[in-house]
Amino acid sequence: MAKILVTGGCGYIGSHTLVDLVENGYEVISVDNNKRSNPIILEGVEKITGKRIKNYKVDLCNYDDTFAIFQENVDIDGIIHFAAYKSVGESVEKPLMYFENNLQSLINILKCVGEFKIPWFVFSSSCTVYGNPDEIPVTEETMPKPAASPYGYTKQMGEQIVNEFAKGSSTKCILLRYFNPVGAHPSAIIGEMPVGKPQNLFPAITQTATATTSRLTMPPPRRCT
């Protein structure tokens, strides 16, 4: 049974990935510092799968703590790296925080991938790498343009880091450039539950519909330059 480490496993996409991996016969562990997520979501994953998922509450920007996870799990076969700050608006207001968090955590993970010779690595990139494309819809052949936010730049730079790492490594690396995933598990046990005010439209709509918030408000659109 292959063992997969999912970073950001308590997040929206990460938790659904944990479920899918377990249901397909993988052993999984999670790492999430829970600054932007709630560990209670792992209880939902357990209800769905019947498996208790071990989560390491570790900040991946701390290399020693990250390295310790790999020392304890020398049999990791692959990593799916979701952990990152993801709010476009916040990245405009706090660009250095985004560059530090999203890039330092990636570098620390890749150091461990190289040290422990992990055979597979999947990087959660983003459609933001396409910037403001000339044609819609974009495809895998669409060329990236300058990012429209510091968040987008962290994903562009992250892809470059992974590409350069892969050139000198036997690790097989994959870049995922997905758009805005929405929805919930068919059981409705887990779904998108953002900590704090939602930054995406659908969580804002659902929280308004369930009276979690009193009215639908979204940040004003930002002009991309």
Q: Give pairs for 16-23: CB < 8 Å, separation 24+.
A: 16/185, 16/190, 17/80, 17/82, 18/42, 18/45, 18/49, 18/53, 19/45, 19/48, 19/49, 19/185, 19/190, 22/49, 22/51, 22/53, 23/49
- Please name the residues in contact with 143: beta carbons below 8 A apart, sequence gap of 6 or more: none
Task: Report how far residue 43's alpha carbon sits from residue 109's, in angstroms, rounded to the nearest whole number.
Answer: 26
* Of 184, 170, 140, nearest in space to 48 by CA: 184
Q: Are 78 and 5 in contact (CB under 8 A)?
A: yes
Structure-block tokens of residue 78 = 């692959």
Q: Are 43 and 54 in contact (CB under 8 A)?
A: no
Is 98 a catalytic site residue? Answer: no
Of residues 12, 85, 98, 151, which has the active-site annotation?
151
| Residues classed as catalytic | 151
